Amino acid sequence: MAALDLSGSPGPVKTARASLEASAANAREVKLPKWARKFTCVFKTSANADDAGKLCGTGTDAAAIGTDVFPVPSGSALEIKVEPIAIGTRSVFLSGDAGGGYAYIILEAKA
């Protein structure tokens, strides 16, 4: 599955649904736009039930998610502040515990 590239999305608010890998062990890369200062996501199964998930700051799309993950409990939203960068792209790597579910994402220009 190709990375979800939100880097060209206009601000100041963007919502997206990222399809997650069928294997819960694999990561989905989400490329963040330069204007994003706050990233929020929740994990849902393919049946739209609450799911737990993982977030990692490094990785490779469709490959095994790293061991340095932040666990997100089922039914919880993860919200992180995103620091600005001058060049390059920023990505986060997501995985849902059920596999094959979704990450619902909100990007905001103001933290």
Q: Left (φ > 0), alpha (ψ -120 to 50) or beta: where does 46 sit?
A: alpha
Check: CB of residue 110 under 8 Å from CB of residue 14: no
What pLDDT was estimated at residue 91? 93
Higher pLDDT, 103 or 7: 103
Confidence check: pLDDT of 9 > 80 = no
What is the rounded (10 degree) CA torsion for 50, 31, 60, 58? -80
21-54 residue pLDDT tens: 999 999 999 999 888 999 999 999 999 999 999 9
Q: Can you say how many angstroms the Cα of residue 12 is from the centroid of all Cα atoms in its chain? A: 18
Domain 4-108 fold: Jelly Rolls (2.60.120)
What pLDDT was estimated at residue 111? 65
Question: Per-residue pLDDT averaged across 53-77, rounded?
Answer: 95
Question: Per-residue pLDDT averaged across 60-75, rounded?
Answer: 95
